Amino acid sequence: MGVLCGVATARGVDLPAKFLGANSCASSGCHGGGGAKQNQFLTWSLKDFHSQRPAATLTTARSKQIGEALGIKDPTSEARCTTCHAPLHDMAESLRGKDFKVSEGVSCESCHGPSENWLRAHTRHDYTRADRTAAGMRDLQDLYVRANTCVACHQVVSQPLLKAGHPELIFELDGQSVAEPKHWSTERNGNGAQAWLVGQAVALREMSWQLANEQAPTENEINRWAGLGWLVQNATPNDNLRQKLPTEPDQAIKAATGLQSNSDEVARDVAAAPWTDEMTYKMLATLAGTGAAFRDASVSQPAQARRAERLVLALDRLVAAENNHKGDVELNQLFKLAQSVPDFDAKGFADALDKYSAAINAP
C-alpha cells in the first residue's frame, strides 16, 4: 500500500481516472484563496513538507551517497526512491492530465485520489460523503483509510536502503497529523488516541508484511517489529494478538505472517468503534503500568530499547488526547532514557516508568 494505492474509476466506466495536477485545485475560488476555508492549496504549497521538498530531497548529497551505495546513478529517476519522494514520477502518460507535473512531490491527488471524476462535483452541497467516495475521492475522515494512505511511505524502508544509510522511520498517525500544517478542519481529525491506535495497528501490519517477506531478517528488524507488536498487544484487548513474539528469525517470519491479518483486524475495529475519554485513560494507564515488562531478564536489551522507543511516543500522544499534564516531568525523563538503543538501561527505564504511572494516577 503506497501513497498512490488504488486508482479510482468513474462509476460505470472501466477506464482509470486521470491525475489532473495540484493546479486544478489552486484557483482563488476553490482552494487557492485567502479565506480560512479556501487556503488549502496555499497551505500545502507554501508550508507543507509534502509539497516540493520530498522530490528535492532526492537531489541532496545524502541521497546521492545512498544511491551510490546501491548502484543508483540518479535517485530522482529510480523507482525505489521516487515511489515515496516523487510518487507522480512513474505515472503512466495515459493517466496524466494537461496540468500534471511530476515535480509536485506528494500532492493533493497523492492523498485524495485522482481527481478527474470528482473534481467538478465534490463541492456540490447535495453531494454526500458516500457520493464523493464513490466518485473516487479518498475518504480521509475514515481513520483506517487515512492510515493506509500514509503508512507505506512513513514506516516501511527496505533493508538494502537502510544498510545504505536511509534513516529508520516510525509511523505515528496522530503525532504526524498534529504536526502537519492544517489544510483541513481540525474537528475532522478524529479522536487523537483512536487515531494513534489505528495508525500503530496499521504500522504493525506493514512491518509484519515486510518481515514475512524477508529471507534473512536482521536482529534489528525483528526487534523493531517485536517492539511495536508488544506495544499494540498491551494497548488493545484483541485476543488474536495474544501471542509471544519470537526473536529467532524463522519463527519470527512465521509469526509475522499471521500477525498481518490480526493487526489489520484491530485497525479496522478501532477505526469503526465509538471512542470515549474513558477508553483513552484506560489505555494510558495500562501502558504506563508496564514497568514490570522492562525488568524481564529474558528479553534482550536491544529488544527492550525498541519497546521503549515506541512506548514513550505512545504515552505522549495519549496524554495529548486526554489533555492531562500530570507527569510531564517524568515523561520527559522517559524520553531521555529511550533516546539511545545501545545505551538503553531497561531497569532504569522501568523505575522511571513506575514513577510516571504513579504521577498520572495521583489524585
The domains of the chain are located at: 1-139
What is the model's pLDDT at position 71? 97
What is the model's pLDDT at position 12? 44
Please give the Cα distance from 65 to 42 (Å, whole number): 33
Q: What pTM was computed for the model?
A: 0.91
Residue 6 has pLDDT above 50, yes or no: no
User: What cell does 198 get?
Assistant: 489505528
What is the model's pLDDT at position 188? 67
Least confident of 10-14, 43-47, 312-316: 10-14
pLDDT band at 33 (very low <50, low <70, confident <90, very high): confident
Residue 193 has pLDDT above 60, yes or no: yes
Average pLDDT, the chain: 90
What is the model's pLDDT at position 14? 62
